[in-house]
Amino acid sequence: MAKKRRKLNKDFEKKIYSSKKNVELVLAKIYDIDDEEIQKEYISAFNKVVYLFEQLKNDYESIGFTNDSENLMANYNNSFNLFESEFEI
């Protein structure tokens, strides 16, 4: 049986790339924190954002653009915005 092709979306790929850069930037800022306790607190809080980004990226890479893709992106964005509002970085 032939393997089904993934549906691609260039605009969505740009959003994923931008999200990846945002995650990398925040992680770099967190790792620059000198106080180990504060750093652990930030990492713990940011882990949900990283998890949602990885889920979004892996879903797109394995399945492609689907109806769930926008929901995954919205979940990631909401989580990222919540982190930014609760933690000054």
Count CB atoms within 10 A of the CB of residue 22: 16
Q: Whole-angstrom distance between the N-terminal and C-terminal Cα of the chain?
A: 50
Q: Is 5 part of a structural domain of the chain?
A: no
Determine what percent of the chain is predicted with pLDDT higher than 70. Answer: 94
DSSP code, position 5: P
Structural domain count, the chain: 1
Give the pLDDT mean for 71-89: 95
DSSP code, position 64: B
d(CA 23, CA 52): 11
Give the pLDDT mean for 59-69: 93
**Confidence band for 6, pLDDT divided at 50, 70 and 90:** confident
Q: Is 22 part of a structural domain of the chain?
A: yes
Q: Is 3 part of a structural domain of the chain?
A: no
More confident residue, 29 or 2: 29
Q: Are 83 and 46 in contact (CB under 8 A)?
A: yes
pTM: 0.89
Give the pLDDT mean for 49-70: 95
d(CA 48, CA 76): 9
Strand partners of residue 47: none
- Which pLDDT belongs to residue 7? 85
